[in-house]
Structure 1
Amino acid sequence: MSESSRDAVLARIRQGLAAGPAALPPRPDFTTPVHPPLNDPDPVVAFAESFQRVGGEFYYCESLAHLAAQLAGFRQRQQVGAPYVWEPAMQALLAEAGVAFRADEMEFIEQADLSLTSCEALVARAGSVLVSAATASGRRLSIYPDQHLVLARPSQVVAEIGDALQLMQRRYGAQLPSMVSLTTGPSRTADIEKTLVLGAHGPRRIALFLLEEE
């Protein structure tokens, strides 16, 4: 390095030191929300939009009769049999609505093309369905069948994932279920040659039937 270049570098260093340390960045406001407001003030509408955006099928049901008609239409379109349903409360509800279902586990591995379960919560922000192993559906009905149907109520919708996890803590305390899963759209992967494949690690279709409160 020539003498003139060395002097120029040292001059810039001295100039920088004379200016003092750089100002500290402003302190973040930890009270402000991390996320922007939901795209709709009604969390149920926001969930329906998010759920469909990630590939889910959303069906609003005004009554048990409407639920029965929606389920029958879905089965006819998909050409599938009666869903496996293992939760006693849901079995009673479907029996009241006149909806056929399979309560046993006979030929489950061979015939499990359709299941119907409840859920713990619905997350409006992500369009996710929070399921757990705490119900009689266990782990299998939300993971193994080719198509997964979920029956939920509007009161189960929360805004954020954190709200859903807090709900689980209040509901179960220290005895959390052995499996808690956030399902966001149908199972998918693009690991092989970036080709999108549905149903790689679970159901290739997820549909939610939102039944109005009684």
Structure 2
Amino acid sequence: MIPESSAAAARTAVLARIRQGLAQPAPQPPRPDFGAPVHPPLPADLAVAFAESFVRVGGVFFYCASEAHFIAQLSAYLKEQQIGRLFAWEAALQRVLYTGHVTFVADETEFLPHADASLTTCEALVARTGSLLVAPATASGRRLSVYPDQHLVLARTGQVVAEIGDALRGLQARYGASLPSMTSLTTGPSRTADIEKTLVLGAHGPRRLVLFLLDDAPDVGAPDAAA
């Protein structure tokens, strides 16, 4: 049993420490600089930054130095993946594929039962997140970027922007008051881990997202007139 005098001394010591602590205000955390950028600066070469971010989120990336290089890499990829039907509904893309002797389906023939892969353009590429800004304002509509097992995209280096806000401002500048009925940011292939924390690809969209980045060719891959 602790003597009463010892217990009283212990209480006195504890209370003294408490009073001492209360007399000295707790140090405050440094005041944040609300004017500072949230993210670190991106490299000067946004195309490289985009490619790194895109691959990091699970995308398959191909750099194309020319249109002929694009055709060669696309043909090799289609053969490697054993893709039987490639759906391409945009006129600009169809011209490129036709010139390169790449077989494609230009309409909806057997689209639902055989949507192996699609080839579309996009509105912008976001370097920060590796995302594609997709809108249905082309002949591809909404389905070609969502329904097929593999979504292939042809884009240009000039479409790469730093941040999501830059992509949205570019979209607004392009369409003005006639914005597309829907826009979406696609970041990597569709995935979910809702069931027992097991990652499943292709749950809500394409199982694989493939980007062919063509070094600036102004007449290739430009989306058709808004629908």
Task: Please give the range of the TM-score, normalised by the shorter of the 2 chains.
Answer: 0.7 to 0.9
Say if 2:124 and 2:133, in contact at 8 Å, map to a contact too: yes
SS in 2 for 1:107: coil
Distance in 2 between residues matched to 1:51 and 1:44, nearest whole Å: 10
Structure 1 length-normalised TM: 0.86
Match of 2:36 in 1: 32
Match of 2:223 in 1: none
The correspondence of residues 1-214 of structure 1 with structure 2, limited to 5 A, is: 28-38=32-42, 40-214=43-217
**CA distance 1:105–1:25, shift in 2 (3 Å):** same
Identify unmatched segments of 5+ residues in structure 2: 1-11, 218-227
Identify unmatched segments of 5+ residues in structure 1: 1-6
What is the deviation of 1:144?
A: 0.2
Task: Specify the code of the residue in structure 2 equivalent to 1:45.
Answer: V
**CA distance 1:11–1:175, shift in 2 (3 Å):** farther
Task: Specify the code of the residue in structure 1 equivalent to 2:131.
Answer: S
Q: Give the greater-gyration-radius structure (CA).
A: 2
Q: Deviations over 1:125-177 (max 9, x none)?
A: 11111101111111000000000000000000011111111111211223221
**CA distance 1:17–1:37, shift in 2 (3 Å):** same
Identical pairs, percent? 70
Distance in 2 between residues matched to 1:201 and 1:168, nearest whole Å: 25
Greater alpha carbon shift after TM alignment, 21-30 vs 173-182: 21-30
Q: Deviations over 1:84-114 (max 9, x none)?
A: 1111122122223332211111111011110
What is the deviation of 1:73?
A: 0.7
